[in-house]
Amino acid sequence: AQKVTQAQTEISVVEKEDVTLDCVYETRDTTYYLFWYKQPPSGELVFLIRRNSFDEQNEISGRYSWNFQKSTSSFNFTITASQVVDSAVYFCALSDTYTGNQFYFGTGTSLTVIP
Amino acid sequence: DTGVSQNPRHKITKRGQNVTFRCDPISEHNRLYWYRQTLGQGPEFLTYFQNEAQLEKSRLLSDRFSAERPKGSFSTLEIQRTEQGDSAMYLCASSPPGGSGRWEAYVGTDTQYFGPGTRLTVL
């Protein structure tokens, strides 16, 4: 069965600290996509990144970076030099050939950046 | 505004009433999805349209729920005889046509872009 686990429910950091959000997934498929979305207090889910199962190359985009490791079924997200505007709930999601067009989301990690 | 739009943004209703929500996807996106999100949880899939065809429905979508996309553009989600347990955020998302490769066309895992949601409160 497909499952996404975000064990960290809430994280608080002081501005300018680095923070890593963990995501562990389960799927019986060898072909799948992983996503990260940000949900600020306004409520709209904002797409951050998509990664397919054949591409384990880590990615950096500005202050954001992602570490995809198939061996541990993890797709972790790091924010460097956090800012108050990063405060939001972050969701990891999975889609594979069994789930087809639906995404399976984790329960989210609520990040608070303290000024 | 070229993003996904949803109306209304908030809806308060009494138990037993019917409610209808509307979603307008990003233009040229032929795929449209409905999700439900309760407090402290991630979005849960409800249903999916490709053009006007409803291709997938979750077991969460009881017979009180119905979704339509008559012309392959906007979609409506109706809940009949609302219950307090229906109180949630209802999210709509859209994605473009599948890629030309066999893998993307089959799986259809293009990125989904979400609207701001409709928050339903059933009293």
Give B110 or B50, the one with higher predicted confidence: B50
Q: Are A101 and B58 an interchain contact pair (Cβ–Cβ within 8 Å)? A: no
State which residue of chain A sits closest to B39, comparing Cα positions: A107
| pLDDT tens digits, one per residue of B46-63 | 998 988 988 888 888 889
> Is the pLDDT score of A94 beyond 80?
yes
Residue B105 has pLDDT above 50, yes or no: no
In sequence order, what are the beta bridge partners of A76? Answer: A67
Give A101→chain B minimum CA distance, Å.
6
What confidence score (pLDDT) does residue B106 get?
Answer: 46
Which chain A residues are Cβ-neighbours of B93 within 8 angstroms?
45
Mean pLDDT for chain A? 91
The full length of chain A comes to 115
How big is the A-B interface in CB pairs under 8 Å?
69
Instruction: Please tell me which of the candidates B42, B44, B108 has its beta carbon nearest to residue A108.
Output: B42
Residues above pLDDT 70, as percent of chain A: 97
Instruction: Judge contact between A111 and A44, C-beta under 8 A.
Output: no
pLDDT at B1 over 60: no
Higher pLDDT, B96 or A112: A112
Give yes or no for a cis peptide into B96 (omega within 30° of 0).
no
Element (H, E) at B104: helix B102-107
Mean pLDDT of the residues in chain B: 88
Cα(B21)–Cα(B39) distance, integer angstroms? 19
Contacts of A62 (CB under 8 A, 6+ apart): none
pLDDT 10s digits, B13-33? 999 999 999 999 999 888 899
Chain B residues within an 8 Å CB radius of A35: 111
Residues A15-25 have a mean pLDDT of 97
pLDDT band at residue B107 under the 50/70/90 scheme:
very low
pLDDT tens-digit series, residues A44-69 = 899 998 888 888 777 888 899 999 99
